[in-house]
Structure formats: structure tokens, C-alpha cells
Chain A
Amino acid sequence: MNSPQIEIQLIAVVVAIACAIPGVFLVLRKMALISDAISHSILPGIVIGFFITQDLNSPLLILLAAITGVITVVLVEWIQKTGLVKEDTAIGLVFPALFSIGVILIAKNANDVHLDVDAVLLGELAFAPFDRLLLFGNDVGPKSLWVMGTILISTIVLLLLFFKELKVSTFDSGLSAALGISPVIMHYGLMSVSSVTVVGAFDAVGAILVVALMIAPAATAYLLTSDLKKMLWLAITFGSIAALGGYWVAHWLDASISGSISTVLGVIFLFVYLFAPRKGLISVLYRQKQQRTEVSLITFLLHLNNHSEERERHINHLQEHINWQKIRSKTVLDLALKNNMVTVTNNVVSLTKKGDEFTNLALEYIITNKDEKIEHMKDDFFLFRG
């Protein structure tokens, strides 16, 4: 690996982590779409900033663009507050309007400079190492690495300082307000950080793909954990893996780096969506199947419990009594036998002591919905896991 290659990967990882952190909170606040809106509507801010500074990495440009991002949020909320349209409609009204102002500004004034719509929308990581930061005549590295590095460090510091506040205002804004932790301040703080991050990242990965870096790692992490801290770590990990993996996929395919990173993110999400242990699709389908079987088992045991007469418990009559197909009856009977809940003598099924106890506990649970007594059964049976 040569030095530009290392620099590109480093920038990609820094961008990915800086996006993943606010992304987690956007996903939890069900505000994923707002990041899309911000990423587009900052364009006029970028363009105006660029006219003033003639530098895509200038702090002023980042500030102006971030302000445009916050204005987007304010406008969306303002339109929404009229009660005439819903939030998604408000978002759909605001960001194309601001974005188109930016597009017109570029077309009218910036035809001959290094700022075109393609660059803004798609970014180009491969060129990032060419733009160097010079300090007292010394080359200290690519400019975008410094910009994103600063944004990332600020984000991490803010996260560490305000983790508790972010958590409570995201989970329960009413309580947060009552406790004196203003959810409004947290909201606009998060919006500002997201805006700054999007602006910083758009140069590297483009305004559209930055949304993928914000949302996909958080959405993937959400499927895997029920702990906010772990969710943050997982999102950071997925973002970094996708940044590095995407770089090498692009290298191998000779394709766009940002496009490849997003593709890798998509593939990771798909994989987790299918195979996540608890929330994954396969696990959910398996659990549903198990639950069906268990409901059948309990129905079967209840039937035995209700009927002492042998006629009702004869193996050949079970089918017609419970009205099941043959295969299902056999599965359920086998399951009951395997768990020592029933015995079969002379083709008549009887509950064992264990089966009897189980049935009574299950009945009590269904009637009272009390959890404590069946705690120990939860590992064996999905049905009781709520």
C-alpha cells in the first residue's frame, strides 16, 4: 500500500465513525429521513460559503452549511406545526426547495470553478489526498482528514459529555423536560452535530452516500443489541468495516469508492437482517414456527387434562377431536413424548406428572399473565417469552 491509499482508507474510516455516532441517535429518534433532508439542503450553504472563501474545506463554509442544515430542521418543524401536513410531507417540501436554490446558484455562478453538482452529490474520496494542508510551509496531510478528524473528535467529546442527556431525551422527552434536561436543546444540538458531520463528509463521500453512512450502521446495530452503548460500538464497527471493505472492493472493481462503501453497508445490513440472533428474519420465522408448535402442544395437553375418559384420549381419535392434520398431530405427540409429558399405553395417551404440572402452570400463566412462576420455563419455551 502506498501512502495515498493509506490516507484514503484513513479518511474513509474517520468519516464512517463520525457519521455512525449521530446516526445511532437519528435512528432511535425515528429521524433517519431528516439526515437525508439535511444532506441535500445544505447545498446552498456550501455554495454561498464557497463563493466567499473559494475553499471547499474552509471552516466558514462548514459553519454556513451547518446553519442551513439547522434551518432545514426548523422549517420542517414549522410547516409541520401548522397541522396542515405531516412530517414526511414537510421534509419533502423543504429540502428540494433549498437544494434547488443551491443548484441554481452553482449553475449561474460557479461554472468555471471546482464545484459542480456531481462533486457535491457523489464526492470523490480518491482525490482527497491531493488537497493538502500546509502549516508553515510543511505538508501535514490531506486537508479533509484534518477537517473530518476535528469533527470526529468534537463529536466524541460531546457524546461522552452528554451521553446521559442524549439517552434520556431520546427515550422520554417528557421526563427529560420535567427533569430540566431540555429536549429542545438536545434536539438542536444533535441536529447541529449531524449537519456539521454531513457537511464535512460530503466532500469525501458525497451528499447522498453520507446518508448511508449515517443510517445503515445504526440500523444494522439496532438489530443486534438491546444496549445503547453496544449499539454505538457496533455501529462504529460496521461503519469502519464498510469503509475499509468498500475501499478494497472499489480498488478491485476499479469503481467509485463511496459507491462501494455504501454497497458493502447494504450487504452487511442484509446479512444481519437475515441472520441476527433475535430480531433477524430467519430467527423470527423459526420462533413463529416454534410458537405454533408450542401452542399446539399446550392445546393438546389441555385436551388431555380436560378429559379423563379413554375414548377422548385414544390415539386414533385425537385427530378428529382436536381437528388437526395427521402430520401436525404426530409432531405434537412426539414433542410431548420427548419431553416426558405424556405416556402412551394401549394406544391411550395419558399425562405424566410433569405434563400435568406443566399444563397447570401454563393455564395459570394464560389466565393471570403472571410471569414470576414460569421464569424457569422460558428457556425451553418460546411461548412464554412475551
Chain B
Amino acid sequence: MEQKIAIKVDDLTVAYNYKPVLWDIDLMVPEGVLMAIVGPNGAGKSTLIKAILGIIKPIAGSVTIYDKPYNKQRKLVAYVPQKGSVDWDFPTTAVDVVMMGTYGKLGWIKRPGQKEKKAALEALEKVGMLAFKNRQISQLSGGQQQRVFLARALVQNAAIYFMDEPFQGVDATTEIAIINILKELRKAGKTVVVVHHDLQTVPEYFDWVTFLNVKKIATGPVKEIFNDDNLTKTYGINYKVAVNK
């Protein structure tokens, strides 16, 4: 059986002030994988996600989601930005933040109603945060904030999920809770792309991996390509990851 391609990136180049941060990226992500994007700081991991989602305009190349450009497929995609990218002192509650996930399907002007609220509460329950639904978001711990963000992505009920460092600054309990949800998503046939930092956990959490350092180093199944050779090429130092031996 031919596996469907969920995300296809062709010759993608992104530059800030004429300095390329992503250079000629080709990438194919098959449907239903749980993929980690790994690479050193400044490798362009977040930029790759943002360029796929049209948040940053590339200077060359193209992206398709199930064979169509992203702006035609928005409703198939959910996005979890880095937790640090927003102001958590913003005057709003956990459930309200989760409801924002429904805004895409609602479109302009239309207001969220009971249906959206119900979906938001269900998503909060899935991430174990229902008890905190009316808590002001600055009164949540870092891990709880990350779970609220995850719930916001779940409420989008998408086919593809992009997550920018969801494990950053969360405690072990939250990390386990998040990875369990990601695995459930994969089980349901969804595609999940995660910017990830902890190399040790790559083989345990993910089945697909992309090595990135401005250029794409390698992409494919973790079992085949997660090795010292690719790690060394990506990080530029002689890498020995014990887990692979």
C-alpha cells in the first residue's frame, strides 16, 4: 500500500535580512508518523515550522499539505507555538485560550458559542486540566500552560499537528502526559511534527526524525537514520548517543 504524503516541502529557502536560515530544504513527511525535528540552536527548526505554516514568507520554494498549498488546507493543521512566544499575563482564562483553537474553523467575525465551549472543555479534560478551566493563565505553572497550549491544538481536531518545543521547561509528569497524547494522536492516524531538543528521548518517543542544520541533513525512520553519523553531521561534534548501540 502506498503511504500518503502529509507534508511536502520543495527547495524551501528562508532568509532573515538576506542571511539564509534555511537553505534548499526538501522534505516529505508520510501520513501518520510522529516526527522529531532535531538540530542545534539556530538550525532553523522553528523557522521551518513557521515557513510551512505561512507565518514566515520563504524567499524560494514551496510547501504543500496533502498536495495543496497551506492556505487551502488550514483547517487540517494545528499549531502549538513555543510557550515563551506569548505573554502569559494576558487577561484571559485557560478555557478561553483553548477556545482560540476553534477560531480558524469559525473564520472571521463569527463568534464562538456553546459548541466551541464544549469542545474546549473536552480538550482540557484530555490534558487533565479541567479543574483549572477558569484559572487566569498567569496563575498556571509552566507545565500547566504547556498543557493548555496542547489542549488548544487538540480542539482544532486537525490531521497534522506542529509543535514547537512542547517539552521545554515542563516537569516529568507533564512530559509523560504530553507524549501519551502525541502517541494517541498517531494511533488515530494523525501526523505530528515536533521540534525536539532532548536527543536521548528521540528513539523512545518518535518513529520518524529530521536532522536539520540550516540545510537538511537527513530525514527518515528513527530506526534507520538515528545514528552517530547523522548526529555528528548535524551537530558538528563527534556525537555518541548510547541509546543507539
Binding site for B on A (CB under 8 A): 28, 30, 81-83, 161-165, 167-168, 170-172, 174-181, 222, 225-228, 230-231, 368-372, 375, 385-386
Contacts and interface: CB of A to CB of B under 8 A. Distances in A.
Contacts of A81: 17
A165 B55 contact: no
Contact of B100 (A171, A368, A370): A171
B53 interface: yes
Q: Which 4 A-B pairs have the closest CB atoms?
A: A179-B104, A226-B136, A174-B81, A178-B79
Contact of B54 (A168, A177, A222, A370): A177
B85 A164 contact: no
Contact of B112 (A83, A164, A370, A371): A164
B93 interface: yes
Interface stretch (B23-31, B137-145, B215-223): B137-145
B176 interface: no
Given A170-B90, A171-B86, A226-B91, A178 B77 contact: yes
Nearest to A179: B104
A170 B91 CA distance: 11
A177 B140 CA distance: 25
Contacts of B50: 174
A179 B109 CA distance: 13
9 contacts: A28-B87, A81-B17, A164-B112, A171-B86, A177-B55, A178-B54, A178-B79, A181-B108, A227-B91
Contacts of A179: 74, 103-104
Contacts of B54: 177-178
Interface in B70-118: 71, 74, 77, 79, 81, 85-87, 90-93, 97, 100, 103-104, 106-109, 111-112
Contacts of A375: 131
A175 B91 contact: no
B171 interface: yes
B173 A28 contact: no
Nearest to B143: A369
Contact of B53 (A172, A178, A230): A178
Contact of A168 (B103, B138, B141, B173): B103
B109 A371 contact: no
Contacts of B139: 385-386
Q: Is the interface of A mostly helix, strand, loop or mixed?
A: helix
A174 B141 contact: no
Contacts of A171: 86-87, 90, 92, 97, 100
Given A167-B92, A174-B79, A371-B141, A180 B109 contact: no
Contacts of B97: 171
A172 B85 contact: yes
A279 B159 CA distance: 42
Interface of B: 17, 50, 53-55, 71, 74, 77, 79, 81, 85-87, 90-93, 97, 100, 103-104, 106-109, 111-112, 131, 136, 138-141, 143-144, 152, 171, 173
Nearest to B109: A161
A369 B109 CA distance: 41
Contacts of B91: 28, 222, 225-228, 230-231
Given A164-B109, A230-B91, 13 more contacts: A164-B111, A167-B92, A167-B100, A168-B100, A172-B86, A177-B54, A178-B74, A180-B104, A227-B93, A231-B91, A369-B141, A371-B144, A386-B139
A326 to B, nearest CB: 36
A385 B140 CA distance: 9
A222 B89 CA distance: 10
Contacts of B104: 178-181
B55 A178 contact: yes
Given A164-B112, A175-B81, A386 B140 contact: yes
A175 B100 contact: yes
A377 B144 CA distance: 19
| Residue from B91, B104, B144 having most chain A Cβ neighbours under 10 A | B91
A218 B222 CA distance: 51
A214 to B, nearest CB: 17
A172 B143 CA distance: 18
A307 B143 CA distance: 34
Given A175-B81, A180-B71, A228 B112 contact: no
Contacts of B92: 167, 171, 226-228
A28 to B, nearest CB: 6
Contacts of B140: 386
Contacts of B55: 174, 177-178
B129 to A, nearest CB: 10
Contacts of A30: 87
A82 B171 CA distance: 39
A386 B103 contact: no
Contacts of A174: 50, 55, 79, 81, 85
Contacts of A177: 53-55
A253 to B, nearest CB: 35
B142 to A, nearest CB: 9
A222 B131 CA distance: 25
Contacts of A368: 171, 173
A171 to B, nearest CB: 5
Contact of B74 (A83, A180, A230): A180
Nearest to B71: A180
Nearest to B107: A180
